[in-house]
Structure 1
Amino acid sequence: MLPDITTRADVELLVNTFYGKVREDELIGPLFSEVAQVNWDLHLPKMYDFWENILFGTGGYRGRPMPPHFRLTQQHPLRPHHFDRWLVLFYETVDQLFEGEKAAEVKVRALNIASMMEFRVEQLNNMNEAAQ
Protein backbone atom coordinates (compact mmCIF):
# COMPACT_ATOMS: atom_id res chain seq x y z
CA MET A 1 0.00 0.00 0.00
CA LEU A 2 1.25 3.44 -0.93
CA PRO A 3 1.10 6.41 1.46
CA ASP A 4 -1.21 9.36 0.98
CA ILE A 5 -0.01 12.93 0.51
CA THR A 6 0.15 14.34 4.02
CA THR A 7 3.15 16.68 4.27
CA ARG A 8 5.09 19.32 2.38
CA ALA A 9 7.80 16.70 1.84
CA ASP A 10 5.20 14.57 0.02
CA VAL A 11 4.25 17.54 -2.14
CA GLU A 12 7.93 18.17 -2.95
CA LEU A 13 8.39 14.49 -3.90
CA LEU A 14 5.34 14.68 -6.16
CA VAL A 15 6.45 17.93 -7.82
CA ASN A 16 10.08 16.84 -8.27
CA THR A 17 9.14 13.45 -9.70
CA PHE A 18 6.50 14.94 -11.98
CA TYR A 19 8.75 17.65 -13.38
CA GLY A 20 11.52 15.10 -13.84
CA LYS A 21 9.14 13.30 -16.20
CA VAL A 22 8.09 16.55 -17.85
CA ARG A 23 11.70 17.47 -18.59
CA GLU A 24 12.24 14.13 -20.32
CA ASP A 25 8.96 14.14 -22.24
CA GLU A 26 9.30 14.51 -26.01
CA LEU A 27 6.08 16.50 -26.40
CA ILE A 28 6.03 18.97 -23.52
CA GLY A 29 9.63 18.86 -22.32
CA PRO A 30 10.80 21.25 -25.05
CA LEU A 31 8.06 23.73 -24.10
CA PHE A 32 9.59 23.99 -20.64
CA SER A 33 13.27 23.81 -21.57
CA GLU A 34 13.50 25.51 -24.97
CA VAL A 35 10.46 27.78 -25.30
CA ALA A 36 9.81 28.91 -21.72
CA GLN A 37 13.41 28.31 -20.65
CA VAL A 38 12.22 27.50 -17.14
CA ASN A 39 14.61 28.28 -14.30
CA TRP A 40 13.97 25.14 -12.25
CA ASP A 41 15.60 26.57 -9.12
CA LEU A 42 12.87 29.25 -9.08
CA HIS A 43 10.00 27.26 -10.58
CA LEU A 44 10.05 24.20 -8.34
CA PRO A 45 9.69 26.07 -5.02
CA LYS A 46 6.74 27.98 -6.53
CA MET A 47 5.16 24.67 -7.48
CA TYR A 48 5.72 23.28 -3.97
CA ASP A 49 3.88 26.31 -2.57
CA PHE A 50 1.17 26.09 -5.22
CA TRP A 51 0.32 22.43 -4.67
CA GLU A 52 0.73 22.62 -0.89
CA ASN A 53 -1.76 25.49 -0.89
CA ILE A 54 -4.15 23.59 -3.18
CA LEU A 55 -4.11 20.51 -0.92
CA PHE A 56 -3.71 21.98 2.55
CA GLY A 57 -4.81 25.63 2.27
CA THR A 58 -1.49 26.91 3.59
CA GLY A 59 -1.73 30.28 1.83
CA GLY A 60 1.94 30.01 0.88
CA TYR A 61 1.46 30.50 -2.84
CA ARG A 62 1.54 34.08 -4.00
CA GLY A 63 1.32 34.11 -7.75
CA ARG A 64 -0.81 34.24 -10.83
CA PRO A 65 -0.49 31.09 -12.93
CA MET A 66 -2.23 32.36 -16.07
CA PRO A 67 0.12 35.16 -17.26
CA PRO A 68 3.13 32.86 -17.76
CA HIS A 69 0.95 30.45 -19.74
CA PHE A 70 -0.38 33.31 -21.85
CA ARG A 71 3.18 34.45 -22.57
CA LEU A 72 4.18 30.91 -23.45
CA THR A 73 1.29 30.44 -25.88
CA GLN A 74 2.31 33.71 -27.58
CA GLN A 75 5.66 32.06 -28.33
CA HIS A 76 4.35 28.57 -29.09
CA PRO A 77 0.58 28.00 -29.10
CA LEU A 78 -0.42 25.55 -26.40
CA ARG A 79 -2.98 23.08 -27.68
CA PRO A 80 -5.26 20.47 -26.07
CA HIS A 81 -2.74 17.67 -26.64
CA HIS A 82 -0.17 19.56 -24.54
CA PHE A 83 -2.58 19.77 -21.61
CA ASP A 84 -3.59 16.13 -22.10
CA ARG A 85 0.04 15.02 -21.91
CA TRP A 86 0.65 17.17 -18.81
CA LEU A 87 -2.31 15.51 -17.14
CA VAL A 88 -1.24 11.98 -18.12
CA LEU A 89 2.20 12.58 -16.62
CA PHE A 90 0.69 14.12 -13.49
CA TYR A 91 -1.73 11.23 -12.92
CA GLU A 92 1.02 8.71 -13.63
CA THR A 93 3.24 10.35 -11.03
CA VAL A 94 0.53 10.51 -8.37
CA ASP A 95 -0.39 6.86 -8.96
CA GLN A 96 3.27 5.82 -8.81
CA LEU A 97 3.87 7.49 -5.45
CA PHE A 98 0.60 7.85 -3.53
CA GLU A 99 -2.88 6.61 -2.89
CA GLY A 100 -5.64 7.83 -0.63
CA GLU A 101 -7.92 10.81 -0.16
CA LYS A 102 -5.39 13.57 -0.90
CA ALA A 103 -3.93 11.61 -3.83
CA ALA A 104 -7.41 11.40 -5.36
CA GLU A 105 -8.05 15.06 -4.57
CA VAL A 106 -4.84 16.27 -6.21
CA LYS A 107 -5.78 14.45 -9.42
CA VAL A 108 -9.22 16.09 -9.47
CA ARG A 109 -7.64 19.47 -8.76
CA ALA A 110 -5.09 18.92 -11.56
CA LEU A 111 -7.88 18.06 -14.00
CA ASN A 112 -9.79 21.21 -13.05
CA ILE A 113 -6.68 23.39 -13.35
CA ALA A 114 -5.64 21.88 -16.69
CA SER A 115 -9.18 22.24 -18.07
CA MET A 116 -9.45 25.87 -17.02
CA MET A 117 -6.00 26.73 -18.37
CA GLU A 118 -6.67 24.91 -21.63
CA PHE A 119 -9.94 26.81 -22.07
CA ARG A 120 -8.39 30.22 -21.38
CA VAL A 121 -5.31 29.57 -23.51
CA GLU A 122 -7.48 28.34 -26.39
CA GLN A 123 -9.48 31.58 -26.19
CA LEU A 124 -6.23 33.51 -26.53
CA ASN A 125 -5.09 31.31 -29.43
CA ASN A 126 -8.41 31.90 -31.22
CA MET A 127 -8.13 35.66 -30.73
CA ASN A 128 -4.56 35.64 -32.03
CA GLU A 129 -5.53 33.58 -35.09
CA ALA A 130 -8.51 35.83 -35.83
CA ALA A 131 -6.25 38.90 -35.68
CA GLN A 132 -3.90 37.49 -38.33
Structure 2
Amino acid sequence: MAYTYSLQAMKDLENEADIKQLVDTFYDHVNHDALLSPVFNEIAQVDWEHHLPVMYNFWSSVLFGTMAYKGQPFPKHLRLPVTGEHFDKWIALFKATVDALFSGKKAEEAKQKAQSIARIFQMKMGLLPYV
Protein backbone atom coordinates (compact mmCIF):
# COMPACT_ATOMS: atom_id res chain seq x y z
CA MET A 1 0.00 0.00 0.00
CA ALA A 2 1.47 3.32 -1.02
CA TYR A 3 1.21 6.29 1.30
CA THR A 4 0.81 9.74 -0.03
CA TYR A 5 1.68 12.74 2.01
CA SER A 6 0.44 16.18 1.27
CA LEU A 7 2.73 18.86 2.49
CA GLN A 8 0.80 22.05 2.84
CA ALA A 9 2.92 24.95 1.78
CA MET A 10 3.42 27.53 4.46
CA LYS A 11 2.13 30.94 3.66
CA ASP A 12 4.21 34.07 3.47
CA LEU A 13 4.08 36.99 5.88
CA GLU A 14 1.10 38.91 4.53
CA ASN A 15 -0.56 41.04 7.19
CA GLU A 16 -0.62 42.37 10.74
CA ALA A 17 -1.93 39.08 12.13
CA ASP A 18 1.15 37.35 10.68
CA ILE A 19 3.43 39.95 12.25
CA LYS A 20 1.75 39.39 15.62
CA GLN A 21 2.16 35.62 15.30
CA LEU A 22 5.83 35.99 14.38
CA VAL A 23 6.61 38.44 17.19
CA ASP A 24 4.66 36.53 19.85
CA THR A 25 6.24 33.20 18.88
CA PHE A 26 9.73 34.67 18.65
CA TYR A 27 9.60 36.35 22.05
CA ASP A 28 8.14 33.20 23.59
CA HIS A 29 11.33 31.47 22.40
CA VAL A 30 13.44 34.34 23.75
CA ASN A 31 11.74 34.02 27.14
CA HIS A 32 12.65 30.33 27.28
CA ASP A 33 16.25 30.81 26.15
CA ALA A 34 18.90 30.53 28.88
CA LEU A 35 21.15 33.17 27.29
CA LEU A 36 18.59 35.76 26.16
CA SER A 37 15.86 35.56 28.78
CA PRO A 38 17.98 37.09 31.57
CA VAL A 39 18.90 40.07 29.36
CA PHE A 40 15.25 40.83 28.62
CA ASN A 41 13.68 39.89 31.94
CA GLU A 42 16.30 40.61 34.59
CA ILE A 43 18.56 43.30 33.15
CA ALA A 44 16.23 45.24 30.85
CA GLN A 45 13.15 44.25 32.88
CA VAL A 46 11.01 44.35 29.77
CA ASP A 47 7.32 45.11 30.28
CA TRP A 48 6.02 42.56 27.78
CA GLU A 49 2.52 44.05 27.69
CA HIS A 50 4.06 47.27 26.37
CA HIS A 51 6.99 45.80 24.42
CA LEU A 52 5.11 43.34 22.19
CA PRO A 53 2.82 45.96 20.56
CA VAL A 54 5.90 48.12 19.93
CA MET A 55 7.52 45.16 18.19
CA TYR A 56 4.36 44.56 16.11
CA ASN A 57 4.62 48.18 14.94
CA PHE A 58 8.36 47.90 14.35
CA TRP A 59 8.13 44.82 12.14
CA SER A 60 5.03 46.12 10.37
CA SER A 61 6.99 49.25 9.50
CA VAL A 62 10.08 47.30 8.42
CA LEU A 63 8.25 44.74 6.30
CA PHE A 64 5.12 46.52 5.10
CA GLY A 65 6.16 50.17 5.24
CA THR A 66 3.26 51.08 7.53
CA MET A 67 5.23 53.72 9.44
CA ALA A 68 3.46 52.47 12.59
CA TYR A 69 6.71 52.40 14.58
CA LYS A 70 7.77 55.67 16.11
CA GLY A 71 11.02 55.48 17.96
CA GLN A 72 14.71 54.79 17.94
CA PRO A 73 15.50 51.17 18.78
CA PHE A 74 19.27 51.41 19.10
CA PRO A 75 19.66 53.62 22.22
CA LYS A 76 17.58 51.17 24.28
CA HIS A 77 19.98 48.37 23.36
CA LEU A 78 23.22 50.28 23.88
CA ARG A 79 23.17 49.97 27.67
CA LEU A 80 22.63 46.21 27.66
CA PRO A 81 25.56 43.93 28.54
CA VAL A 82 25.41 41.85 25.38
CA THR A 83 28.05 40.18 23.25
CA GLY A 84 28.24 38.75 19.78
CA GLU A 85 26.99 35.48 21.27
CA HIS A 86 23.73 37.17 22.28
CA PHE A 87 23.26 38.58 18.78
CA ASP A 88 24.05 35.19 17.21
CA LYS A 89 21.43 33.51 19.40
CA TRP A 90 18.88 36.27 18.71
CA ILE A 91 19.36 35.87 14.96
CA ALA A 92 19.26 32.07 15.12
CA LEU A 93 15.99 32.14 17.09
CA PHE A 94 14.47 34.77 14.82
CA LYS A 95 15.34 32.88 11.64
CA ALA A 96 14.16 29.56 13.09
CA THR A 97 10.87 31.18 14.11
CA VAL A 98 10.32 32.64 10.65
CA ASP A 99 11.19 29.30 9.02
CA ALA A 100 8.82 27.40 11.31
CA LEU A 101 5.88 29.68 10.54
CA PHE A 102 6.29 31.21 7.10
CA SER A 103 7.78 30.71 3.68
CA GLY A 104 8.11 33.14 0.84
CA LYS A 105 9.52 36.47 -0.27
CA LYS A 106 8.47 38.46 2.84
CA ALA A 107 9.69 35.68 5.14
CA GLU A 108 13.10 35.83 3.49
CA GLU A 109 13.04 39.61 3.68
CA ALA A 110 12.25 39.44 7.42
CA LYS A 111 15.28 37.21 8.03
CA GLN A 112 17.52 39.45 5.93
CA LYS A 113 16.31 42.61 7.68
CA ALA A 114 16.82 41.04 11.12
CA GLN A 115 20.36 40.00 10.14
CA SER A 116 21.08 43.51 8.87
CA ILE A 117 19.68 45.18 12.01
CA ALA A 118 21.73 42.89 14.25
CA ARG A 119 24.87 43.64 12.24
CA ILE A 120 24.33 47.41 12.43
CA PHE A 121 23.68 47.24 16.18
CA GLN A 122 26.85 45.19 16.69
CA MET A 123 28.92 47.64 14.68
CA LYS A 124 27.51 50.60 16.65
CA MET A 125 28.27 48.75 19.90
CA GLY A 126 31.84 48.04 18.86
CA LEU A 127 31.26 44.29 18.65
CA LEU A 128 31.96 44.17 14.91
CA PRO A 129 34.22 46.32 12.75
CA TYR A 130 32.60 48.79 10.38
CA VAL A 131 32.86 47.58 6.80
The answer to whether the 8 Å contact 1:78/1:121 transfers is no
User: Of Structure 1 and Structure 2, which has the larger fraction of its residues in helix?
Assistant: 1
**Identity score, percent:** 47
- How far the C-alpha of 1:119 sits from its partner, in A, is 1.2
Taking only aligned residues, the RMSD between alpha carbons, in angstroms, comes to 0.8
- The equivalent residue for 2:4 is none
Partner AA of 1:101 in structure 2: K
- How far the C-alpha of 1:120 sits from its partner, in A, is 1.0
Partner AA of 2:75 in structure 1: P
State how 1:77-116 maps to structure 2 within 5 Å. 77-116=81-120
C-alpha distance in 1 between matches for 2:39 and 2:61: 25
C-alpha distance in 2 between matches for 1:30 and 1:10: 27
**Number of residues of Structure 1 aligned to a counterpart in Structure 2:** 119
- How far the C-alpha of 1:115 sits from its partner, in A, is 0.4
* Larger Rg belongs to: 2
- How far the C-alpha of 1:71 sits from its partner, in A, is 2.3
Of 39, 61, 66, 2:47 maps to 39
Give unpaired runs (5+ residues) of structure 2.
1-8
Of 9, 12, 28, 2:36 maps to 28
- The equivalent residue for 1:129 is none
> TM-score, normalising length from structure 2?
0.89
> TM-score, normalising length from structure 1?
0.88
